[in-house]
Homo-oligomer: A and B are copies of this chain.
Amino acid sequence: GVSPFSHSPAASYTDSSDDETSPRDKQQKNSKGSSDFCVKNIKQAEFGRREIEIAEQEMPALMALRKRAQGEKPLAGAKIVGCTHITAQTAVLMETLGALGAQCRWAACNIYSTLNEVAAALAESGFPVFAWKGESEDDFWWCIDRCVNVEGWQPNMILDDGGDLTHWIYKKYPNMFKKIKGIVEESVTGVHRLYQLSKAGKLCVPAMNVNDSVTKQKFDNLYCCRESILDGLKRTTDMMFGGKQVVVCGYGEVGKGCCAALKAMGSIVYVTEIDPICALQACMDGFRLVKLNEVIRQVDIVITCTGNKNVVTREHLDRMKNSCIVCNMGHSNTEIDVASLRTPELTWERVRSQVDHVIWPDGKRIVLLAEGRLLNLSCSTVPTFVLSITATTQALALIELYNAPEGRYKQDVYLLPKKMDEYVASLHLPTFDAHLTELTDEQAKYLGLNKNGPFKPNYYRCWF
């Protein structure tokens, strides 16, 4: 599904800077005289602060955590090094971690995704931030290093998104792990790398896989994609959904969200699947389960949601009808074999930002969105509410690992405890004016549960 990278058009309005000097070559100080940061332009801080304030209004869960932290500081003493997208929402997270008692140093996990104004605002507030939009690869690692390699300061917690920060410390400063209490990792890729480390017996601190927390998964995938598939298609093609024939490859949470949304808008939806359990669900939800070949000639839209590679091949593309739209909502940019379209007999025509017409010799056009990269990241926005779920999950995972009694977590990869997961959810209920029911003592006893949760037994797997 998604990662916490908001493409808010509002946020970029001061970006068209002519200043081509590398931030690494600039001398900048914030208003308190500190120069322990590296951002594009510290003078943009005010604009960034405004963005952060707007984001705060839509992230009530983090604001609630700040409020509760007025008494106890659960992260007092924590020294967190972070590497994530740097957006207004991340800023709200960082300032919350600060309010909970932590010291933070931060770099960007993506060379394009930093909002310079926000980075400036954080630097102005005293956060050592090392990030700007358009870093080179060398800049990228330099920024990470500046977060970690500091005189008189050693991190004891890692918050990572993609695993690059963790990788850097493994490679350059392995001794640092002696003081590190744990890693919180947010991305599919980063989690995969942690499981591989663990399998190889090389994971030397506990790690928390927050990517797979139930709440985050449901929002990143099912709920977010249900809306962003429509949004992404509309913004790029202005097409009408009613009556269109669509094939959705993959019926996991992302596929389920896409299918539900398009069905509701009057499209006729076909599904492909490799897993018979998901396949049976597609049937029961009212979708014809087919192989891609069976419908490829007749569909108006092809959407991939598999996490697999080469799901849509050149052969499929050759057989699509004129004006067929092809896009990817899955976990990678490998699902559509775009490379196979870079051949001399095909003409590419850029008709809009993120929209290419690929034209066959006979005049047939395929409408390829975002060059096969993730549609929801490229052509839609991630709602702040979804980012709030993610950020709150990260904050609670840091608190859990930092405060866990010796021995609760070993050198392994853990899922967020269900109680924490439930807590993230409960912090977001007030947004909907939703009123939770409390168990009576008698009921709690009858069910064998603690009144405050967790509410699901350990062997409970998939039925919420």
Contacts and interface: CB of A to CB of B under 8 A. Distances in A.
B446 A284 contact: no
Contacts of A272: 437
A279 interface: yes
A340 interface: no
Contacts of A57: 323
Nearest to A307: B447
Given A308-B447, A422-B277, A425-B279, A291 B464 contact: no
Contacts of A291: 435, 437
Interface residues on A, range: 35 or more
Contact of A217 (B222, B279, B462): B462
Nearest to A286: B266
A439 B217 contact: no
Interface in A202-236: 209, 212, 214-215, 217-219, 221-224, 226-227, 230-231, 234-235
A308 B274 contact: no
Contacts of A339: none
A201 to B, nearest CB: 18
Interface of A is mostly: mixed
Interface stretch (A110-118, A240-248, A400-408): A240-248
A218 B244 CA distance: 17
A433 interface: yes
18 contacts: A8-B238, A9-B352, A10-B351, A209-B459, A222-B463, A226-B242, A227-B265, A244-B432, A274-B438, A275-B464, A276-B422, A276-B425, A276-B426, A298-B433, A308-B439, A308-B447, A309-B442, A309-B446
Interface of A: 6, 8-10, 57, 195, 209, 212, 214-215, 217-219, 221-224, 226-227, 230-231, 234-235, 238-245, 251-253, 260-261, 263-268, 272-292, 294, 298, 307-311, 323, 334, 351-352, 380-381, 383-386, 415, 421-423, 425-426, 428-429, 431-440, 442-443, 446-447, 453, 455-456, 459-464
